[in-house]
Structure 1
């Protein structure tokens, strides 16, 4: 943990890690407040700094923008649990995650009971078995988090046996592989946190589906500046894609003031540039039979794409790459969703050489931007600090601004049911 009270709120950026349910659908976000000047930055443990950072971050982004329709987990030590800052947080939107270093003494238990009465949900972090520190919390908490990286499978099974009959949800943390996810499913975990859902599942000889092939044909037409009437006719030959196009066109993220009801109007209003973007999202929407994982990955792709575009636009030297940055962000997630190698996707989609270099070799401006967004997602604060220090003009300010706009934009896509 960081113990620097001198960390300023201007150096803080937001980490947002998804928490999924058993169907791999989005359940909540864990909010991570990161101090950019430190090599590693968990929630700042000085109470004044912690309060300032959370207040600044939530006011900078807005709680509705940060969470959308979901709830947020916030790490709390003993000092923060006792602070008045918690009273500023909306209890119906926030889960207070009690850190494993917090001792369940009389004062803390009394405070937790009070917070429960106010409507907050409580989570116990890093449970590895019942001990003198955490025993008192078990009858109060709504969610028990287990860091599976710190336990052998036998110890994990033993820990679950101790709590299985309790009236709480069980969250498996740091789940990295499909095998780990399936094992935790069998043990009875309700919620999952980690990067297992974004790992590619390679399928040898996998081919595009009929719908995906139709989308790629449309992409080829759009990238080749084909006549609008030909593009419209191609859409009309596939009613499913036509419905998807209209839904995307009428989402708040496009910003149109009236409802579009015809394919021709949608194609004309979007234009070739925007149409290419939406076709890539539609390609992902036809990428998996598992709806929950598919939806989370589409939102991840949209977030990467928008963040990379905005970061490119924040720097005059990078601005010419803004459109390629958006496309790179989307395609970087397609690899996981479609189970295909990056080079296969680049070739199939007819993408620019700089996009291929970024996806396959992490080269160039686009490679740097992709590395940055992945480091933020993976909570690799040292890598973020390195890239901001050496690559990003303006330090953390453009990063924070891009994050705020990106989160709001992705929430609009979520609200549109995409």
Structure 2
């Protein structure tokens, strides 16, 4: 397991119980707590979330690409720009603009931190943001600031980096594609170099990466979306991998989980509305599942007022719907006894499923079958990553309802569009998010971002209170 200094030490965590009560409050849907009062001037800020994995396939951080929507009047924006230009002409340090200040404040919000499952965030910053005093609101151990290659390398900027470094802030140089003068001057002040593996010639990339490694820098490969991308970057010696290769069939270093067939058998039985006796018989064939079910039944979220001591009591206390959702998520657990918060695929699956479940309730024209199927669409949209082969054949085994199946295979209906919306948000495709929201009234991009924060927090909630709230880590 990597212990590189760029990674913050991780805490053990568990996924919360999958069928916890849904929040209906708009404020609760938007984040882990009530949203702050609207900022003045009116500027909307929200963040995507893209995973960074290490060489062992463990989730180590999230990049949080920001989107800033400045809704101020044009005259107000122009007046701000003119004031900044006068400061520069007078030799004064320009004050950070309202948009930069709003971005820093939004990133420091508890809801954003809660959505990261205890991991550090990698945040793109501008020169203007670096000089904002509000930047110090962000805990240094929670963030790595990504510097664009065109940020400049003058004495003023270097002095600011040194000052922030004294406060233990860390930096990465983003999207590096050549060894220019700016890179040479900034290199001593950054811990990591991010390289888009598709932007540098395959003949040049190994040598370029070797030079950066010899300088003691952590190398991050961007654009790693296929197994071939991952294997090429891994062979060159990259330390981190940003992309969704792990969510594809046979992606990355994924290892098969031993009880997966047992989980499939259990799901098939659950779909047939079994009796308690039938369910008890199937579960007894799988001691690992029994162990986890007993823990789930005795968690604080069940509120039954006494300790469950038998398997039949555990089944009755938990209910078949909760058992089914718990089993669906366990399908994606890596077979290496990973803590839930370090399992990139499990986090992505749980977040998408929860996002679908919350978002569908906001739709004007949603039907009951959509609400019932939303979580399933999110969960089983990733089955190729686990089983390989065609997605159709795997869905046949799971005997899913037609609307669920068509949403996954053909992106049809409201659930299909919601699935596309989740995918667009995960990629940080803001234009795609806006276009899909136009078809999914009354959702808009800001609401979607809030729901995604809530879903991400739910998926990564750590059990640090001693009162278990759901899914235990898998133990073979």
> Shorter-chain-normalised TM-score: which range?
0.7 to 0.9
Residue of structure 2 aligned with 1:31, choices 49, 53, 64: 64
- Is the contact made by 1:37 and 1:385 (CA closer than 8 Å) also made in structure 2? no
Residue 263 of structure 1: CA displacement? Answer: 3.0
- Please give the alpha-carbon distance, in whole angstroms, between the structure 2 residues aligned to 1:127 and 1:363: 40
Q: Would you say 1:314 and 2:347 are equivalent positions?
A: no
Q: Would you say 1:239 and 2:239 are equivalent positions?
A: no
**3-state SS of 2:48 partner:** strand
- Please give the alpha-carbon distance, in whole angstroms, between the structure 1 residues aligned to 2:416 and 2:296: 28
Residue of structure 2 aligned with 1:51, choices 101, 124, 130: 101
2:444 corresponds to: 395
Residue 130 of structure 1: CA displacement? Answer: 2.2
Q: Would you say 1:89 and 2:122 are equivalent positions?
A: no
Residue 258 of structure 1: CA displacement? Answer: 7.4
- Please give the alpha-carbon distance, in whole angstroms, between the structure 2 residues aligned to 1:113 and 1:258: 57
- Please give the alpha-carbon distance, in whole angstroms, between the structure 2 residues aligned to 1:169 and 1:260: 49
Higher relative contact order (CA 8 A, sep 6+): 2
2:203 corresponds to: 154
1:386 corresponds to: 435
User: CA distance change for structure 1 residues 345 and 137 in 2, over 3 Å: closer, same or farther?
Assistant: same
Moved more, 208-217 or 72-81: 208-217
Residue of structure 2 aligned with 1:17, choices 50, 73, 96: 50
Please state which structure has a larger fraction of its residues in helix.
1
User: CA distance change for structure 1 residues 209 and 298 in 2, over 3 Å: closer, same or farther?
Assistant: closer
1:100-179 equivalences under 5 Å are 100-179=149-228
User: CA distance change for structure 1 residues 210 and 291 in 2, over 3 Å: closer, same or farther?
Assistant: closer
- Is the contact made by 1:253 and 1:413 (CA closer than 8 Å) also made in structure 2? no
Q: Would you say 1:271 and 2:345 are equivalent positions?
A: no
- Is the contact made by 1:73 and 1:95 (CA closer than 8 Å) also made in structure 2? yes
1:347 corresponds to: 396
Give the gaps of 5 or more residues in structure 2.
1-39, 72-80, 82-95, 465-471
User: CA distance change for structure 1 residues 240 and 388 in 2, over 3 Å: closer, same or farther?
Assistant: same
**How many residues are aligned here?**
399
1:187 corresponds to: 236
Alpha-carbon displacement from aligned partner over 1:130-175 (angstroms, at most 9, x marks no partner): 2111211111111111111211112212321322211221111111
- Please give the alpha-carbon distance, in whole angstroms, between the structure 2 residues aligned to 1:350 and 1:199: 22
Moved more, 400-409 or 364-373: 400-409
User: CA distance change for structure 1 residues 280 and 87 in 2, over 3 Å: closer, same or farther?
Assistant: same
- Is the contact made by 2:221 and 2:233 (CA closer than 8 Å) also made in structure 1? yes
- Please give the alpha-carbon distance, in whole angstroms, between the structure 1 residues aligned to 2:208 and 2:155: 25
Residue 253 of structure 1: CA displacement? Answer: 7.8
- Please give the alpha-carbon distance, in whole angstroms, between the structure 1 residues aligned to 2:69 and 2:313: 45
Rg bigger for which structure?
2
- Is the contact made by 1:376 and 1:384 (CA closer than 8 Å) also made in structure 2? yes
- Is the contact made by 1:36 and 1:385 (CA closer than 8 Å) also made in structure 2? no
User: CA distance change for structure 1 residues 183 and 90 in 2, over 3 Å: closer, same or farther?
Assistant: same
Residue 363 of structure 1: CA displacement? Answer: 0.4
User: With structure 2 as the length reference, what TM-score do the two structures score?
Assistant: 0.76
Residue 255 of structure 1: CA displacement? Answer: 8.2
RMSD: 3.0
Residue 7 of structure 1: CA displacement? Answer: 9.3
Residue 390 of structure 1: CA displacement? Answer: 2.1
Residue 397 of structure 1: CA displacement? Answer: 4.7
1:359 corresponds to: 408
Q: Would you say 1:223 and 2:256 are equivalent positions?
A: no
- Please give the alpha-carbon distance, in whole angstroms, between the structure 2 residues aligned to 1:151 and 1:138: 19
Residue 268 of structure 1: CA displacement? Answer: 1.8
